[in-house]
Structures are given as structure tokens and as C-alpha cells.
Chains A and B, each alone.
Chain A
Amino acid sequence: QSALTQPASVSGSPGQSITISCTGTSDDIGTYKYVSWYQQYPGKVPTLLIYAASSRPSGVSNRFSGSKFGNTASLTIAGLQAEDEADYYCSSYATGSWVFGGGTKVTVL
């Protein structure tokens, strides 16, 4: 049950698109479509952005999109805005357990 691998940081200018990768194994992302993504502002509670790899809960901006291929999942933020500056975590189901990534800090330049 090793943590999923995410880049420590990703940055972009306002209006640009950025993509955060989340790499797992055949025991988690490679087998299950149950990948989710969370946004967390400093000192705040994480909130769900994406579930089932590419589905958005109601109320989440369509600027956020998710995908999965093989052992890697990705979160894309389109039209980057200052309010998108936060930490982002991926998570995957893995046969009776759940695992998170190490988190990615997104900086808006």
C-alpha cells in the first residue's frame, strides 16, 4: 500500500492549462477506475473535485477534468485562476484499502 506518486509542485500563468499526474501501480490505479482528486487550501478541509477518474460532483467547475490511462491518472485545470492556488491530492481504491498521493502544490504565477 505505497503512496501514489505526484509531482511536488506545478505552476502556470493565469489562463493557462496545467496537468497534475498521479502514478500508481497495477494494484490500484491500473486495476480500478476509482481515482479521486481533492483540493485543499492551507488550513482548510479537503474538498472532492473528481471521482471515478473523470466524473465531477455537482458544483465543481468544469475547468477541472480528470483522466486515467494505465497506472497513471491526471488532473487538468483549464483557464488557470488565482483561486486555483492550493494543494491537490489524488487517491485510489486498492482492494480493501485506499491510498493517497503525496500532494501537489499548484502555484499561479
Chain B
Amino acid sequence: QVTLRESGPALVKPTQTLTLACTYSGFSLSTPGMSVSWIRQPPGKALEWLALIDWGDDKFYSTSLKTRLTISKDTSKTQVVLTMTTLHPVDTGTYYCARTGMGTTEAFDIWGQGTVVTVSS
């Protein structure tokens, strides 16, 4: 069974750095074709793709946020970590990690439950 679980702080102050972890199981991020993305959703708003890291350690970022984002993976810990710098209140929302599998090309087939992040002083 494939699962992903996000973890990180629920409250972050403006200008601080956010670090989120996605712990996955049931698949290997070393398998060709596999990747994990971070996607966020402000309250009452649409989904927004943030970043992706693939099996070969290639990394892709949202054009509008790339200067603030860093994605990395630790396959020994089965974790993908997202760092976002200089948080603003508009960064408040639910942050999901999601897998792209080999069979569902470029689609997010399994999602974590999400972690809610509030940016406030």
C-alpha cells in the first residue's frame, strides 16, 4: 500500500523559513519513473503545484516561487523535504505531497493527508 504523510510546523512567523517533510512508503523513489511533488492550497482556493523531485534527483520548481523553494530527498529515510524561505501570510494553507507513479504519467496518483501551515505573527 502506497502512503505519504506530511509533517512540519503548524505555525510559522512571517519572514521565517518553513521546512516540511513527506515520509512515503510502499514504493521506491529510486525506481525510474517515480517522483514526488509538493502542492499547496490556500483556504478556499485552488491547488498550486510547487516543486517535484524525481527518481534521478532531477528537481523542478514553480516559476513564480523557485527563488524561495528547495526540494530534496533522502531515500534511506524515505523522505522528501521542501524548504520555503521568507514566509508571508499568503503562504498560509494546506501543503500536500503527492506521488507521480509509473502508470499514471505526469499525474498525481497518491496524495498525503496534507499539513496545515499558518503564517502569522
Q: Do A and B interact with each other, yes or no?
A: yes
Q: In terms of DSSP, what is the predominant structure of the interface of chain B? A: loop
- Which of B64, B96, B106 is in CB contact (< 8 Å) with A93? B106
- Interface stretch (choices A18-26, A76-84, A98-106): A98-106
| Docked complex Cα distance between A98 and B37 (Å) | 10
- Interface stretch (choices A9-17, A45-53, A67-75): A45-53
Q: Nearest-CB distance from A45 to chain B (Å)? A: 5
Contact between chains at B60 and A96 (CB < 8 Å):
yes
Q: Nearest-CB distance from A83 to chain B (Å)? A: 19
Residues of A in contact, count (CB < 8 Å) = 25
Contact between chains at A91 and B63 (CB < 8 Å):
no
| Docked complex Cα distance between A46 and B112 (Å) | 9
Contact with A along B41-70 (1 / 0, CB 8 A): 000001111001000000011111000000
Contact between chains at A1 and B64 (CB < 8 Å):
yes
Closest A residue to B109 by beta carbon equals A48
Closest A residue to B60 by beta carbon equals A96
Contact between chains at B62 and A89 (CB < 8 Å):
no
- Which of B47, B60, B107 is in CB contact (< 8 Å) with A97? B60
- Some 13 contacts from A to B, beta carbons below 8 A apart, are A34-B106, A34-B107, A38-B47, A45-B96, A45-B111, A45-B112, A46-B96, A46-B111, A51-B105, A51-B106, A52-B105, A91-B47, A91-B108
